Amino acid sequence: MKKMSNSEYIELYQESNKTFLALRLEIESAFQCLKDYESNSSFESKKVGIYKHLKKLIPCFDILFEVSKLNSTQSLITQLRMIVDNYVILYLFTNFSSKEEQLLRYYLFLLDATSSRPKIIKNFASNIKHQIPDEAYENANIAVVSDNKTSVELIKTINEKQLDSIANKEIISSSNWKFKDKNEKNQNKNRYIWTELYTIAKIPNHHAQILQNYFSSFVHGLGLSLNIKTDEEDLTFVILSLDYCGILMSMIIKIIMTEFDEETKNLNLHPMTLEIINHNWNNWK
């Protein structure tokens, strides 16, 4: 195979850069259609939760773009993996299985957070060796009380909406939002791993394997992350990351338009954007 010249690398980078920036503008337009959800703080509505998830995720593309200009492949890949994982969660709650199961997973996702934080705070406080300001203790206690209350409310909501009838009670008691089998009692064996979640979210299997088995080496600083030797290899990772993000932004726009069809009915996307969205959604290879 003929080795690419430096000018060919630069040309690919410029094209990836151009597509990334165009899709970043388009995803912002789609997100702005949801601005009425900003004032709603109730996570009982899945739409509110999805809005909040998008609000924290979309700026991450800007950070990745800035990191792509630096000489830090490890930072770039770590940022990309975080974006991919957040996209996968978004897909799981909007496009996988039935609407009822999506809602149950969403509530279990929240329950996982509200049941985990009190344990983390308690464990940290019991092992701290130096004096902590009273205000910090007070804030921690407020967080624990709030989380415990929210956990009770989430369980109540799950029961009231009869979502407890579609999954084994052990799934709910363990806050297992990654469950595979609705009827499995042993939750240690009943969780999708990230590679499986990637493929569920329309990421082709060979990409899913790279994301988990190779990119994780950069995230965790393993030996493989030491193997970048040339500027061309660094630029290859930059191009790859920008291209991945372009695809993911197009997929997220599709999710926004589907999940918030009424809110986005007047959204005017460029014809080329629509072509990219449809191609990536149906033919990502």
Q: Which residues pair with 179 in a beta bridge?
A: 191
227/116 Cα distance (integer angstroms):
37
Mean pLDDT by 10 residues, the chain (285 residues): 78 97 98 97 95 98 97 94 98 98 98 94 78 79 93 97 97 98 95 98 97 90 76 88 98 98 98 98 96
The model carries a pTM of 0.94
Instruction: Return the DSSP state at 4.
Output: P
250: exposed, middle or buried (C-beta count within 10 Å: 0-12, 13-18, 19+)? buried
Confidence (pLDDT) at 230: 64
Confidence (pLDDT) at 285: 92
Confidence (pLDDT) at 232: 73
User: Do 105 and 90 form a contact (C-beta atoms < 8 A)?
Assistant: no
75/272 Cα distance (integer angstroms):
31
Instruction: Return the DSSP state at 212.
Output: I
Which pair of structure tokens corresponds to residue 276? 């990219």
136/155 Cα distance (integer angstroms):
29
**Spans of all domains in the chain:** 6-95+201-283, 99-193
166/183 Cα distance (integer angstroms):
9
Rounded to whole angstroms, what are the CA distances from 159 to 70, 76, 104, 127?
50, 42, 10, 36
Burial string for 101-112 (b: 16+ CB within 10 Å, else e) reads bbbbbbbbbbbb
34/256 Cα distance (integer angstroms):
9
Q: Please name the amino acid found at residue 164.
A: D
Confidence (pLDDT) at 182: 96
Q: Is 16 helix (H, G, I), strand (E, B) or coil?
A: helix
Tokens 């974006």 belong to 83
Confidence (pLDDT) at 2: 60
Angle in degrees, 0-180, between the axes of helices 6-32 and 231-259, rounded to the nearest 10: 20
